[in-house]
Amino acid sequence: MDDLQKIHDAAREDHVPIMKDDGMAFLLAYLKEHENIRDILECGTAVGYSAINMAEVRWDMTVDTLEIDPEMYETACRNVKERGLQDRVNCYLCDAAEFQTDKIYDLIFIDAAKSQYRRYMEHFFRNTMPGTVFIFDNLNFHGIVDDPQLSDNRGTLQMTRKIRNFREHLLNDSRFETVYYPDTGDGVAVAKRKKSSSFEEQSGKQ
Ligand SMILES: C[S@@+](CC[C@H](N)C(=O)[O-])C[C@H]1O[C@@H](n2cnc3c(N)ncnc32)[C@H](O)[C@@H]1O
C-alpha cells in the first residue's frame, strides 16, 4: 500500500479529522489548475495528510503548516520526513492565531479551530496580496450549520452558529471574490483577494 494511503487510513482509524476525500480531491485539482500557486500556508496540520498531498502537486511548492496539538505535530513531522518533504513542508507547533511571518502566500488553507476562522483570516490578511486565495473547509459542519436540529449538543450549536456568521460575512466581504461549494468536502469556500485600493476594502468594512 502507498505510504500516503497508509497515513490516510491510520488517520481515519484514529478518528483524526483529516479532510474528506472529495474535499481533498477538490483542493488538489484547484492547485493543479492554478500553476502560479507556490507558497501555501495551512492552519491545522493534524498528521500532515493535507500538507503532504498539497506539497506533492509540484516540486517547487512550499507549505508552512501550523498545529497546536503536540502529539499531532510530532506525527506530522515524522510523516513529512518519511515522505522526504522536510525541505518544503515546514511544520510549526503553535496556535495559528499567534503565528507571525512576513511571508506572502499564494494560498492559505484554513482547517483549524472552526470558531476562529474570521480571526485567522484577519490575522493573515497582511500575508496576502491581490490574487491570494483563502480556502476554508467545514463551512457546513456535517450539515448542522444549515440545519441546527441535527444536533442537540450546546457546544456544537454554538460553534456552528459562529461558522454560519463567518460564512455570511465572507460571502459579503468586498475584499474577496468568494465561491462557496456546499456539497464539496464539508462545505468549502474559495475566497480570492481582489485588487483594491479603498480603505474600506483594505480593512474589510462593508
Ligand atoms: C481538521 S484537522 C486538520 C486536518 C488536516 N488539514 C488534513 O486534512 O489532513 C484540524 C487540526 O487543527 C488543529 N487546531 C485546532 N486549533 C488550532 C489552533 N488554534 N492552531 C493550530 N492548530 C489548531 C487541531 O489540533 C487539528 O489537528
- Mind listing the pLDDT tens digit of every residue in the chain (206 residues)? 678 999 999 999 999 999 999 999 999 999 999 999 999 999 999 999 999 999 999 999 999 999 999 999 999 999 999 999 999 999 999 999 999 999 999 999 999 999 999 999 999 999 999 999 999 999 999 999 999 999 999 999 999 999 999 999 999 999 999 999 999 999 999 999 998 755 555 555 54
Grid coordinates representing 18? 483529516
Between strands 62-67 and 107-110, the pairing is unpaired
CA distance 121 to 127: 10
Q: 88: CA distance to ligand 1 center in Å?
A: 19
List the chain domain ranges.
3-203
pLDDT for 151 = 93
The three three-digit cell numbers of residue 156, written as one number: 456544537
pTM score? 0.94
Residue 43 phi, psi dihedral angles, 5° rounding: -100, 115
Instruction: Name the one residue in this structure whose C-alpha cell is 511544520.
Output: 91
Ligand 1 atom closest to 42 (CA): 6
CA distance 18 to 49: 7
Distance 177 CA to ligand 1 centre (A): 25
Whole-number pLDDT of residue 2: 77
Fold of 3-203: Rossmann fold (3.40.50)
Residue 197 pLDDT: 52
- Given this model, what pLDDT does residue 204 score? 54
**109: Cβ below 6 Å to ligand 1?**
no
User: In whole angstroms, what is the distance from residue 70 CA to residue 93 CA?
Assistant: 7
Considering only CA atoms, which of 45, 160, 37 is closest in space to residue 152?
Answer: 160
Query: 12 alpha carbon to ligand 1 midpoint, in Å?
Result: 15
Q: Please indicate whether residue 52, judged by its CB atom, sits closer than 6 Å to ligand 1.
A: no
